[in-house]
Structure 1
Amino acid sequence: MNLKRTFGAILTVLGIIGLIYTGMQIINHSGQATTQIVVGLISIIFFFTGISLVRNTKDEA
């Protein structure tokens, strides 16, 4: 498996975990608004970066 694809999968999973965490914080009304915004934005960046790495990396055997 390609290293870029593996790193992309890890970034995607981290982005999903961060988005779930942010959603839970919003639903529970806990935490500061600025913290939720920062964690949400970083999670979105991780998620879309990981997806693009997985999609654009060619599988070379």
Structure 2
Amino acid sequence: MNVKRIFGTLLTILGIISLIYAAIVFANTSGTTRDVKSLVIYGVLGLLFFISGIGLIKATKDEA
């Protein structure tokens, strides 16, 4: 098993979970500063993890 591919998969899954949580926070927000901060933090981190995980999976070559 390739460690880079496993790490890429893990980053992608963490990114998806973080983006889903950001969507939940967005749906339940009341507009306070704390809600907006957590929405931005989880959204940016989720997007960063998701993009880096997909990029790592795509860049890793399969070796038999």
TM-score (norm 2): 0.88
Consecutive unaligned residues of structure 1, counting only runs of 5 or more, are none
1:4 alignment partner in structure 2: 4
Query: What is the deviation of 1:36?
Result: 1.0
Work out the CA distance in 2 between the residues paired with 1:41 and 1:14: 12
Count the aligned residue pairs: 61
Cα deviation, 1:28-51, whole Å, max 9, x if unaligned, reads 116520111011101100000000
Query: What is the deviation of 1:53?
Result: 0.4
Consecutive unaligned residues of structure 2, counting only runs of 5 or more, are none
- Structure 1 runs, 4 residues or longer, greater than 6 Å off: none
Matches within 5 A, 1:1-61: 1-29=1-29, 32-61=35-64
RMSD between aligned residues = 1.2
Work out the CA distance in 1 between the residues paired with 2:38 and 2:28: 14
